[in-house]
Amino acid sequence: DGGITQSPKYLFRKEGQNVTLSCEQNLNHDAMYWYRQDPGQGLRLIYYSQIVNDFQKGDIAEGYSVSREKKESFPLTVTSAQKNPTAFYLCASSIQLTGFEQYFGPGTRLTVT
Amino acid sequence: GENVEQHPSTLSVQEGDSAVIKCTYSDSASNYFPWYKQELGKRPQLIIDIRSNVGEKKDQRIAVTLNKTAKHFSLHITETQPEDSAVYFCAASITGNQFYFGTGTSLTVIP
């Protein structure tokens, strides 16, 4: 399944709290991505990063923030400004330069009550 | 931005029959089209992909076809087995910068 890890697998938070989801990869991939998946829907892009210290907003970036200080790590913070944060969050990476294949982490299921 | 539509949303087939899932895309600049299989509660896994300079690609029981003129691509699974039951997603991308996903097809293979 590749070297992409996400932690924790399940996360519970109270409304109004910020929460950070971890994503680490040891595949030496250049690009990393964060997606949100809701029941019965496809994957929607939150943020992506092609190189260290640079990232771009996806279609649903509002209420989320990211950082890319190291090539291996791309943490996602779900802020209190995200109106409907309960979802399954998937991190992915791809090598980009020699291929576009995207590989996914196991996901974090976030529940906010 | 790119818009990917996927049909059908659910598909039931008898074991041994073929299954076909279709996707259309809107941006003619898209040049990479992967297909993912996702089992319940698990991560999507890449099963096959195709680039815009190729019309068809096969891998054992799975094949993907691409029609650039019509801007649609399809996944074909032959001799379906119960373990093929899952949700399948298509996606379109321009050189891997952003990926736009379809809404998924839930495939059930009936033994």
What does the alpha-carbon distance between residue A71 and residue A26 come to, in Å, rounded to a whole number?
Answer: 9
What value does the mean pLDDT of chain B take? 94
AA letter at A111: T
Is A106 close to B97, i.e. CB distance below 8 A? no
pLDDT at B52: 87
Q: For chain A, where are the E strands, in sequence order?
A: 4-7, 10-13, 19-25, 31-37, 43-51, 54-57, 64-66, 76-78, 87-94, 102-104, 108-112
B24 touches chain A (CB under 8 A): no
Is A1 close to B34, i.e. CB distance below 8 A? no
Give per-residue pLDDT as tens, A6-16: 999 999 999 99
Which two structure tokens, joined as six digits, stand for B58? 């096969």
Q: Which residues of A touch B48 (CB under 8 A)?
A: none
Q: Give mean pLDDT, residues A22-37.
A: 94
From chain A residues 8-67, the ones with a CB under 8 A of any chain B CB are: 31, 33, 35, 40-45, 48, 50, 58-59
**Residue A73 per-residue DSSP state:** B
- Asked whether residue B30 carries a pLDDT value surpassing 50, the answer given is yes
Residue with tokens 């996903």: B101
What does the alpha-carbon distance between residue A81 and residue B24 come to, in Å, rounded to a whole number?
Answer: 34
Is B34 close to A102, i.e. CB distance below 8 A? yes
What does the alpha-carbon distance between residue A51 and residue A31 come to, in Å, rounded to a whole number?
Answer: 6
Query: What value, to the nearest 5°, has the Cα angle with vertex B55 and ends B46 and B100?
Result: 45
- Asked whether residue A1 carries a pLDDT value surpassing 60, the answer given is no
Is A43 close to B45, i.e. CB distance below 8 A? no
